[in-house]
Amino acid sequence: MIEIGDTIISLDIIEVNFACDIKTCKGICCIEGDSGAPISKEEEKQLQKITPKIIDRLSPEAQKVIKKQGISFIDEEGDLVTSILANSGACVFTIIDKNGNAKCAIEEAWENDEINFRKPISCHLYPIRITSYNSFDAINYHSWDICKNALIKGKKLGIPVYQFAKEALIRKYGNEWYAQLEWAAKNLDINK
């Protein structure tokens, strides 16, 4: 493990290669899972603010769920997560593009400069999962069978998880923190 500031980082973040292969997986991570995407209270407020701007992008079923229960709920583990569709388990913010790929309506609106919130950080960071404790964040790689093609593609391209998630890690912890992680990765000589 590596310690940077108030974070403890699993070596898997450096050792495991990963690069999303959307053509193969079709964005299934937006649909499958135990519950919705983990979000913070601040993100919940952001989502409530932007949902009226993106509601027309969402499926009729998603719109009904949001109208009935809202954009989020507390799951069985006590975590605040995005609401999901009963029939598929998909996040209510999931849309399907012309190629049949699941994608995020929030991020699509952000890419089109319609809103200033990209998407929940837990989605942006994936396959990294963060567990926050009183005095530190534990940063771990989340292994999931549906991402096996991302492991193959990542290995072929030589992209470790921390590089794949660079933009999200900088969003979460800042440039200086990421520079320290990069330095540690290079000087630990793990991938050689």
- Most distant pair of Cα atoms in the chain: their distance: 53
Q: pLDDT averaged over the chain?
A: 92
Average pLDDT over residues 138-167: 93
Q: Specify the length of the chain in residues.
A: 192
Q: Please compute the mean of the pLDDT values over residues 13-23 and round it to a whole number.
A: 92
* Closest of 60, 66, 97, 59 to residue 82, by C-alpha: 66
Q: Among 48, 87, 88, which residue's Cα sits nearest to residue 69?
A: 48
**Pick from 2, 38, 35: which is nearest to 125 by CA?**
38
Strands 80-82 and 72-74: antiparallel
Which of 107, 86, 83 lies closest to 97, judged by CA?
Answer: 107
pTM recorded for the entire structure: 0.87
Chain segment 103-134, per-residue pLDDT in tens? 999 999 999 999 999 999 999 999 999 999 99
Residue 100's CB is within 10 A of a number of other CB atoms, namely 8
Residue 11 has pLDDT above 80, yes or no: yes
For residues 89-102, give the mean pLDDT: 91
User: What percent of the chain lies above the pLDDT cut of 90?
Assistant: 76
| Spatial distance between the Cα atoms of 72 and 146, rounded to a whole number of angstroms | 24
Q: How large is the average pLDDT for residues 91-99?
A: 92
